[in-house]
Amino acid sequence: MIENVTGRRLKTTQASLEILSLILEHDGLTLAELDTMVDSSKSSICSHLNTLLESRYLVKRDGVYRVSFRVALLGERARHRYPSDEVVERVVDELADATGQEANFTIFEHGRLLMCYGSSTDEGRDANGIRYRSEYHLHNTAAGKAILSELDRDEVASIVDHWGLPRESEGTITNADRLFDALDEIATQEYAVVDEEFAPNLIAVGAPVHDGDGRIVGGLSVGGPKYQVDMTRLEREFADELLNAVESLEAALS
């Protein structure tokens, strides 16, 4: 969901968080590199960096700023709200082994999917050749579309307004009306599929994962290249394996 923020926002805080995110995304940046990426003066960027260093969110080695381990510890505290690492890894690994393809568990926050854990067999890993990303859109991923289908349409519209419908492949749905039509169809079943909507030649099936109160915490998906998996097998075999895996994750959250 997109949080409804109505109070005052601080541009300085937003600027610091933007710098922190860039450093994390690039696994370290120098002041000179940040100066080419951030729309602020070098002195202002330096002030933000000093604040983040003093707050222990960054470390500096040989002129390169990197995210500190303290940030990882904060993230670990957030992970306690979700299934344990052992449960997630076991369920996702079993799903990947059962299908012979790549399986992912993602967390649903602020209208995006955040990678929690991914696994694939050697066969699936070699064939896919896709690097794991840290964040994903909802409109062109199997788990994301399944999650959207369960949300109120006003909330879906809010997510679309905030993040847009960027095209990442020829099959990506970039029209809101088409997306809503697809979501209406998905709502009649327990899962969603994508057919070359996230990346060329890739298909996948996904479903939401709920906590004990029925709230969506994330999504589980599995899929692979079309020359290894066809749509019939995806919806008949993979969907059953997927829903069994979702049931296992939800049992750990209940």
User: In 3-state terms, what secondary structure has residue 147?
Assistant: helix
Q: Class for domain 81-251, per CATH?
A: alpha beta
Cα dihedral 155/158/159/161 (nearest 10): 160
pLDDT in tens, 9-26: 678 888 898 999 899 889
Tokens 């957030």 belong to 78
Query: What are the residue ranges spanned by the domains of the chain?
Result: 9-73, 81-251
Q: What are phi and psi of 193, to 5 degrees?
A: -125, 155
End-to-end CA distance of the chain: 21
Contact partners, residue 124, CB within 8 Å, separation at least 6: 96, 100, 101, 102, 224, 228
Q: Is 18 helix (H, G, I), strand (E, B) or coil?
A: helix
Q: In sequence order, what are the beta bridge partners of 30? A: 64
Q: What does the block give as tokens for 196?
A: 């070359």
118-173, pLDDT tens digit by residue? 998 755 444 443 444 588 999 999 999 999 999 999 999 999 999 999 999 999 99
- For position 254, what pLDDT does the model report? 79
Q: How far is CA 60 from CA 29, 50, 54, 57, 63, in A?
A: 10, 10, 11, 10, 6
Using CA atoms, how far apart are residues 88 and 95, in angstroms rounded to an integer?
11
CATH fit for domain 9-73, picks 1.25.40.10, 1.10.1380.10, 1.10.10.10, 3.40.50.150: 1.10.10.10
Q: Taking the model in full, what pTM does it have?
A: 0.77
* Chain segment 61-116, per-residue pLDDT in tens: 999 999 998 888 887 777 666 667 788 899 999 999 999 999 999 999 999 999 98
Q: What are the pLDDT digits (tens) for 192-220?
A: 999 999 999 999 999 999 998 999 999 99
Radius of gyration, CA atoms only, the chain: 20
